[in-house]
Amino acid sequence: MEIRLENLTKVFTDAKSKSETRAVDDMTITIPSGKLVGLLGPSGCGKSTTLYMIAGLLNPTGGKIFFGEDDVTDLAPEKRGIGLVFQNYALYPHMTIRQNIMFPLENLKVPKEEAKALTLEMAKLVGIEDQLDKKPGQLSGGQQQRVAIARALVKKPKVLLLDEPLSNLDARLRLQTREEIKRIQRETGITTIFVTHDQEEAMSISDEIVLMEKGVVKQIGGPQEVYENPTNLFVAKFLGTPPIAVYNGSVSKGKVKIGKTTIFSSKELEETEVEAFIAIRPEGYEPAEKGKLKVSYDFIENIGRDLALIAHQENAINPTFRIILQDQNGVTPSTTKFNIKKEKCYVFNKETGERVL
């Protein structure tokens, strides 16, 4: 089911100081039916607040929420047809796994036999059917989170909402469980919103990513699209490991400059005169004898298939940054000249942060 947020806003007012926090600010987005959408951004950007408004656990200060054609803005949470999963699993420790999964059906007074069959179906879907008689404490974190997902899905909701579901798991389980979530979402085809502050997590499982900063949506798109085509500096900086390097620069008479050095010319920018931030992905550098940009490095890291130069440059904002190369060819001791691959380089208006190239 498609979810539409229209000018959704949440303002928290501190009771004592009366100071206001615009946790979500005029958010208008469409979550396509049957897709897994990652709500991504740094801590405090309003992801959870957005999710809780969709769930009905928080009332918006303004705006509307639609499930399909239905305006659900004022509908009680239990009437919305949603399944919710939290980061801490929130299972009942004294109940068996079977009882935990079945619990929402008891509230709905679903006949016992039907409830049992549904519970088994969900346990199979998440791959814990041989754990049904155990208690939550006997399961790993990853298994507990799968139980929480089974419990969220047992009522056959139309929407699944996941709030940082992997953040309590260790690295290995996190990888495994995120693949599981992707598989379960594909198999059920349920519209899913997944909140995370981890860009790699969001990139790896989302069909679409909604990137937020300070309550505002900064960009929406497929993982590859937002990575390759950031529309603003925030998105370019937030996505990518190692992070993008950002330099003080300018655009003048069609020339893109870092400091006083022209790194390339661009016909498209012939009419543009602007102070700029020039951002270059780690894989955007080519060592060349007559390379335009002089970069120094402190040492070389061997990172498996590739090499990483731990580099610094007088115009860079980052104190150090990484340059990824396939081999050491052309790299001279301590300072190397590079040509910059245009397709790995973005130019942003320094004042607005908006992309100009």
3-state helix, strand, coil in the chain (%, to 5): 30, 35, 35
23 near ligand ATP, rule: CB under 6 A: yes
Cα separation, 110 vs 223, in Å, equals 40
By C-alpha distance, which of 14, 39, 35, 36 is closest to 27? 39
How many angstroms separate the Cα of 65 from the Cα of each of 36, 54, 82, 195, 305?
Answer: 18, 7, 13, 18, 47
Burial of 218 per CB tally in 10 Å (0-12, 13-18, 19+):
buried
By C-alpha distance, which of 96, 353, 54, 40 is closest to 217? 40
CB atoms within 10 A of CB 45: 23
Question: Given the complex with ligand ATP, which of 48 and 272 has the nearer CB atom?
Answer: 48
CB of 145 to ligand ATP, least distance (A): 17
46 near ligand ATP, rule: CB under 6 A: yes
**Binding test (CB under 6 A) with ligand ATP, winner from 36, 37, 41, 287:** 41
Cis preceding linkage at 242, omega within 30:
yes
**Measured in whole angstroms, how far is the alpha carbon of residue 114 from the centre of its chain?**
37
CB of 87 to ligand ATP, least distance (A): 9
- Residue 333 token pair: 């001791």
Question: Given the complex with ligand ATP, which of 41 and 63 has the nearer CB atom?
Answer: 41
Collapsing DSSP to helix, strand or coil, 28 comes out as: strand
Size of the site for ligand ATP (CB under 6 A): 12
Residue 189-218 contact track with ligand ATP, rule CB under 6 A, x = bound: --------x---------------------
CB atoms within 10 A of CB 144: 23
Residue whose entry in the numeric block shows the structure tokens 């679903």 = 110
- Looking at 43-51, 145-153, 262-270, 337-345, which segment touches ligand ATP (CB under 6 A)? 43-51
By C-alpha distance, which of 186, 91, 167 is closest to 131? 91
**Binding test (CB under 6 A) with ligand ATP, winner from 2, 9, 11, 21:** 21
Question: Given the complex with ligand ATP, which of 24 and 278 has the nearer CB atom?
Answer: 24
Question: Given the complex with ligand ATP, which of 23 and 132 has the nearer CB atom?
Answer: 23
Site for ligand ATP in 307-346 (CB under 6 A): none
CB of 167 to ligand ATP, least distance (A): 9
Cα separation, 238 vs 335, in Å, equals 28
12 near ligand ATP, rule: CB under 6 A: yes
Site for ligand ATP in 225-264 (CB under 6 A): none
By C-alpha distance, which of 314, 342, 306, 209 is closest to 258? 314
- Looking at 41-49, 105-113, 124-132, 138-146, which segment touches ligand ATP (CB under 6 A)? 41-49
CB of 49 to ligand ATP, least distance (A): 3
- Looking at 47-55, 63-71, 142-150, 185-193, which segment touches ligand ATP (CB under 6 A)? 47-55
**Binding test (CB under 6 A) with ligand ATP, winner from 31, 47, 147, 356:** 47
Site for ligand ATP in 69-98 (CB under 6 A): none
Question: Given the complex with ligand ATP, which of 88 and 261 has the nearer CB atom?
Answer: 88
Question: Given the complex with ligand ATP, which of 143 and 145 has the nearer CB atom?
Answer: 145
C-alpha angle 342/345/348, rounded to 5°? 125
Q: Which residues bind ligand ATP (CB under 6 A)?
A: 12, 21, 23, 41, 43-49, 197
